[in-house]
Amino acid sequence: MKTIPHWINGQYYEGSPTGCFEVENPGTGDIEAELLQASDADLDHAVDVARRAQKEWARVPLAKRTAIMFRMRQLVLDHQDEMARMIVAEHGKNYSDAVGEIQ
């Protein structure tokens, strides 16, 4: 079974989970994956990393931050189909509704 770790600081982070949550496809009832349940220490780590990242982000000039955000938007649009299929599998939505959430 697929295990979904946390994504912190641009990389997968397993940390010290306190358990797992099952990810069920509501449309089929099948268990698609397990999602790691973060411990208090994992949350503290994520918040610490985010605080440091925000300080770095604040030093980036506005024009560069804008370019980065527009590039992110383009990446989302470029991978819209893949993302919509994940929403369908994880939330049981139909494909057109999933695409609507992305746009």
The pLDDT tens digits for 41-82 are 999 999 999 999 999 999 999 999 999 999 999 999 999 999
The burial of 73, by beta-carbon neighbours within 10 Å (0-12 exposed, 13-18 middle, 19 or more buried), is given as exposed
Model confidence at 27, in pLDDT bands (50, 70, 90)? confident
Alpha helices in the chain (DSSP H): 40-58, 62-78, 80-91, 95-102
pTM of the model: 0.73
Strands 2-4 vs 31-37: parallel, antiparallel or unpaired: parallel
Check residue 93 and give left, alpha or beta (phi > 0: left; psi -120 to 50: alpha): beta
Please state, in angstroms and rounded to a whole number, the distance separating the CA atoms of residues 34 and 44: 22
Tokens representing residue 3 in the block: 């295990």
Q: How confident is the prediction for the chain on average, in pLDDT?
A: 94
